[in-house]
Amino acid sequence: MPLQATSGAASYDAFGGGVPAVPNYIEEVFSTWLYTGNGSVNGISNGIDLTKGGLVWVKNRGSAQNHVLTDTARGDDNYLSSNTTTAATSGGGIYLGDGFAAIGSSVLTNSSSNTYASWTFREQPKFFDVVTYSGSSSTQNIAHNLGSVPGCIIVKRTSGVEDWFVYHTSLGNTKYLKLNTTGAEASGFAAWNNTSPTSTQFTVLGGRTEVNAAGSDYVAYLFAHNAGGFGLTGTDNVISCGSFTTNASGIATVTLGYEPQWVLIKRTDSPSEWHMIDNMRGFSQTIDAWLRANSSAAENSTYKIATPTATGFVTDGTNIIDPSSSFIYIAIRRGPMKVPTSGTSVFAPFSNTTSSPRTLTTNFVSDLAIQGYVNTTAFDGNISSRLQNENYMRTTSTTEEYTGFQFFNWASNTALISNDGNATKKAIYAFSRAPSYLDVVCYTGTGANRTISHNLAAVPELMIVKQRGGASGWLVYAAGMGNTKAMRLNSTQAEEVGSDFWNNTTPTSTVFSLGNNGDVNQNTGTYVWYGFATCAGVSKVGSYTGTGTTLQINCGFTSGARFVLIKRTNSTGDWYVWDTARGIVSGNDPYLLMNSTAAEVTSTDYVDTYSAGFEITSTAPAAINANGGTYIFLAIA
């Protein structure tokens, strides 16, 4: 009989098929949270309820310090270090609850002004489980509550000095790795008794101090593999434990079916580090800030490891990822998966005069930002995304992506950090990616008609594309114009017809289509795509016909729009932008032009408040409200 696992209980219904009674989302069970130590009490509200069981893994980013792993099965302030063989000890200062707290002044977790990365894994069937057990002189089966066959199991003896033993499904039940070393895969003795784990238990060989010595205590961390269990239907995967082999250039394209936010990678056929990357610290198109599970070394971003895609990741063979080599990985899906219900959870407008850098508090993780001067200096429309990291572009220009200056610092869970060295007043917009609202995709062109995957989980109604690596126009698709037309964000020109823009094909909830136009799909060109959709009560992508008189635009909101973008389609006209940070009121409303370097205009009254959306006044010019004119708009509540 298997031993009883010390673990959380599954929360699945009784209808069969493993469908959760209540939908599960990755943002409820996993978090990467960056914080700065304060030497006292540092509460982390990351949205992960560890009263349901789980693990917090913390690493000092700026100096050579041991990793700290604290789990609910062993209790508060009791930690292990993945880079050492040391037994469990107290003094790490991590206390678990709804979120967690770093208490005290330990340099490992909360020294004043030190920066830290934390990864929280909550126990949840088909995602993660924590099990403790007592060793035996005999081979034994250890029960677990993962609710699926584990893809990876990490075992550590807690009552004595010993290596961390790792089972990975890609290696099979006769091999193992050691998390605390660079060693290649090994066999030598049957740690897992040459027995594959099942959805209810795993097996450890009797008498081995590494996994099953009599009188010793152990903890096991179990990770699921493509087990479903998440999303509205309960069929979405959120964690994958797989393998890949690189080509002669060190390149491998890994397909997960989703964009990852956290990846642990280890070469198996030769000694190498256990590299940890995540999208909060720079898993992007430009850099990877990586830590090593087997090392106390500080964070490093000298070399790139991999680039995320909408469906997985592509390795970089420049330095760390070796050519013609075998690797294993654990990958976790990017969130959120839940559709937002309020605009304030995914969008924030700012207008300020504080000195640079500016720390702008949000209640969400920023993924896209636009910034421009609004008064004495011309508006430039600097735009970037978390996927682009240090690089940015200008909506007023066809110039390629600017590099070498980090206009936006994305390394915060609760703020957007703007850094341009200029204290001039700015309009700044922070956006969070979320299903049915906004998605961002980076891709490489082929010069041939094709489709590109996205994770908007809704049909995009507004798509904005810009070539990053070369000079080109900003191409815009809007559902109100149809799939044969496009406009240019950097221009006043009207809609233009061309089958080479979108291949005369309407996007779907999973892909968008491209023709062979060089502004969207030049062979080997690098591009970024921003896709918006209508999300009930949050955003509205729409179109209207002007009347020349007062016109109310119903967006389905309850407290009016906080952001409005309007462009005329059947004739020339600017891309007008209003926001509540600078003022959408019953009187004059300041506006900016996304396509122009002109300074803010404050002396006009073209839009007014309207609880269901926004109102266009009778004094608005033809570019906004000509009788019979056609227009597209984006509004955010």
What was the pLDDT predicted at 407?
Answer: 82
Confidence of residue 1 (pLDDT cuts 50, 70, 90): very low
What was the pLDDT predicted at 16?
Answer: 35
**Mean pLDDT on 339-351:** 97
What was the pLDDT predicted at 393?
Answer: 95
At residue 49, what is the residue type?
D
Note whether 539 and 554 are within 8 A (CB).
Answer: no
For residue 481, pLDDT over 60 is answered with yes
The CA-based dihedral angle spanning residues 36, 39, 45, 51, taken in that order and rounded to the nearest 10 degrees: 130
Distance, CA of 78 to CA of 253 (rounded, Å): 39
Percent of the chain at pLDDT > 90 equals 88
Average pLDDT, the chain: 94
Looking only at the bridges linking them, the beta strands covering 274-278 and 291-292 are antiparallel
At residue 269, what is the residue type?
D
For residue 14, pLDDT over 60 is answered with no
**Mean pLDDT on 243-249:** 97
- Of 153-162, 271-280, 416-425, the range with the lowest mean pLDDT is 416-425
**Mean pLDDT on 414-439:** 90
- Of 14-28, 400-414, 583-597, the range with the lowest mean pLDDT is 14-28
User: Closest Cα to residue 150, out of 219, 197, 190?
Assistant: 197
Tokens at residue 417, please?
A: 């950090």
Confidence of residue 418 (pLDDT cuts 50, 70, 90): confident
Beta-ladder partners of 265: 275, 329
Note whether 606 and 616 are within 8 A (CB).
Answer: yes
Percent of the chain at pLDDT > 70 equals 96
**Mean pLDDT on 25-46:** 98
Report domain extents, the chain.
30-122, 239-333, 539-636
Distance, CA of 155 to CA of 153 (rounded, Å): 6
For residue 113, pLDDT over 50 is answered with yes
Please report which helix (H) or strand (E) contains residue 631, including its range: strand 630-636
Beta-ladder partners of 441: 529
For residue 8, pLDDT over 50 is answered with no
For residue 98, pLDDT over 50 is answered with yes
What was the pLDDT predicted at 83?
Answer: 98
**Mean pLDDT on 286-295:** 94
Please report which helix (H) or strand (E) contains residue 500, including its range: helix 499-502
What was the pLDDT predicted at 376?
Answer: 65
Residue 64: other Cβ atoms inside 10 A? 10
User: Closest Cα to residue 501, out of 542, 472, 540, 524?
Assistant: 472
Note whether 610 and 633 are within 8 A (CB).
Answer: no
Confidence of residue 20 (pLDDT cuts 50, 70, 90): low
Coil, helix or strand at residue 28 = helix
For Cα atoms 407, 412, 416, give the angle at the middle one, nearest 5 degrees. 45
At residue 520, what is the residue type?
V
Give the pLDDT confidence of 542-600 residue by residue, as tens digits. Answer: 999 999 999 999 999 999 999 999 999 999 999 999 999 999 999 999 999 999 998 89
What was the pLDDT predicted at 3?
Answer: 38
Note whether 48 and 29 are within 8 A (CB).
Answer: yes
Taken as a whole, the chain contains a residue count of 637
- Cα 366 to Cα 369, 474, 503, distances in angstroms: 7, 22, 32
For residue 7, pLDDT over 70 is answered with no
Confidence of residue 17 (pLDDT cuts 50, 70, 90): very low
For residue 22, pLDDT over 70 is answered with yes
**Mean pLDDT on 400-422:** 87
Note whether 21 and 27 are within 8 A (CB).
Answer: no
Give the pLDDT confidence of 496-517 residue by residue, as tens digits. Answer: 999 999 999 999 999 999 999 9
